[in-house]
Amino acid sequence: MEKIICGIQQMGIGVPNVQEIWKWYRKFFGVNVRVFEEAADAPLMTRYTGGEVHSRTATLALSMEGGGGFEIWQFTSRNTEKPQFSVNLGDYGLYCCKIKSRNVAESFDYFKKHGAQIIGDLIEAPNGKLSFFVMDPNGNLFQIVEGRGYFKNTNFPSKCGGVAGSIIGVSDIDKALPLYRDILGYTVVEYDQIANFKDLTSLPAGDGKFRRVLLVHPEARKGPFARLLGPTEIELVQSIDRTDCKKIFENRFWGDWGFIHLCFDVQGMNVLKQECESKGFPFTVDSENTFDMGEAGGRFSYIEDPDGTWIEFVETHKVPVMKKWGWYINLKNKKPGKHLPNWMLHAMGMNKVKD
């Protein structure tokens, strides 16, 4: 079986208040479809939780516009810890989550009208496309970018959809490329520039000099949920003049406050495991068999990029469409790389949460 990267499944977000912040995400991003919601222990993650098993509650939410979802994650056995320092551009890790928009200028007006904390102004990125930054009530940073593709037009008022990618701080872009370009398939370089960038000056330490590389994948992704997850981009940012860059999750647990992992939906996990090991990114966590998330199930694993940023892989085996009717999609015997029919993906929208 070949390795297939089906798309970004979700951005993991550690929060102190799942229901409260999810309401905000529904209002501004339209991630209003509940895939699962469950409370349990996390015994397989002790490597990253101080050697102890901790309890948590997690909600996976999607937008039917398309794009990756959010896994909104909250410790229930301990407090969710913030970083002990101010996170600046150039620090190592998942610095910002990109959100797709059908019309960035209209999204900007919506966010402004509804009192969101916009950072800076509506401005062109180096690829000539409009974007802007916004901070959620927990202090997490999002960049609203022009979407590269959609699943369904929901006419959502903010014009936003799901996760379109991430800005990732790295210490050395050339050392990070074998993972993001070669393993994850973002092989097209849309820009690679070293400069002081106007569109970053509103961010903390954003007036410095940076190398920025925007990576995209050349072809549509394959796999059961690929049409829903859609096309995405990865932007690697390396500070040229800062000497005090830190790991965003330094001295904290996986699951603490902020963007905890970027998760990819995959097929061919064993082949992927071999490739990651051969290129110097061995699995640090591997559930090996089906891991039951209550309403969903699959095999999951983790690797670290050269700066310790957590990348998760999930090979989905079971996902609920309509739990109360006992309707689940079983993917174990499906042909690898095959898309699920659109009607089946549309049916997942029946789990929409209305405010």
Taking only Cα atoms into account, the Rg of the chain, rounded to an integer number of angstroms, comes to 19
pLDDT in tens, 54-110: 999 999 999 999 999 999 999 999 999 999 999 999 999 999 999 999 999 999 999
pLDDT in tens, 172-227: 999 999 999 999 999 999 999 999 999 999 999 999 999 999 999 999 999 999 99
240 vs 290, higher pLDDT: 240
Mean pLDDT, rounded, for 7-26: 97
Q: What percent of the chain has a predicted confidence (pLDDT) above 70?
A: 95
Sketch out the chain's domains with CATH numbers. Answer: 4-351 (3.10.180.10)
Helix spans in 114-225 (H): 173-177
pLDDT at 297 over 90: no
Q: What percent of the chain has a predicted confidence (pLDDT) above 90?
A: 84
Q: Record the pTM.
A: 0.96
pLDDT at 291 over 70: no
pLDDT, position 165:
98
DSSP code of 294? S
pLDDT, position 325:
65
Among residues 86, 94, 118, 87, the alpha carbon closest in space to that of 105 is found at 118
pLDDT in tens, 221-258: 999 999 999 999 999 999 999 999 999 999 999 999 99
pLDDT, position 225:
94
The model's confidence at residue 296, banded by pLDDT at 50, 70 and 90, is: low
pLDDT, position 103:
98
pLDDT, position 322:
64
3-state secondary structure the chain: CCCEEEEEEEEEEECCCHHHHHHHHHHHHCCCEEEEEEEEECHHHHHHCCCCCCEEEEEEEECCCCCEEEEEEEECCCCCCCCCCCCCCCCEEEEEEEEEECCHHHHHHHHHHCCCEEEEEEEECCCCCEEEEEECCCCCEEEEEECCCCCCCCCCCCCEEEEEEEEEECCCHHHHHHHHHHHCCCCEEEEEEEECCHHHCCCCCCCCCEEEEEEECCCCCCCCCHHHHCCCEEEEEEECCCCCCCECCCCCCCCCCEEEEEEEEEECHHHHHHHHHHCCCCCCEECCCCEECCCCEEEEEEEECCCCCEEEEEEEEEEEEEHHHCEEEECCCCCCCCCCCHHHHHHHHHHECCC
pLDDT, position 348:
86
pLDDT, position 324:
63
The model's confidence at residue 328, banded by pLDDT at 50, 70 and 90, is: confident
Report the chain's mean pLDDT, rounded to a whole number. 94
The model's confidence at residue 267, banded by pLDDT at 50, 70 and 90, is: very high
- Please report which helix (H) or strand (E) contains residue 342, including its range: helix 342-347
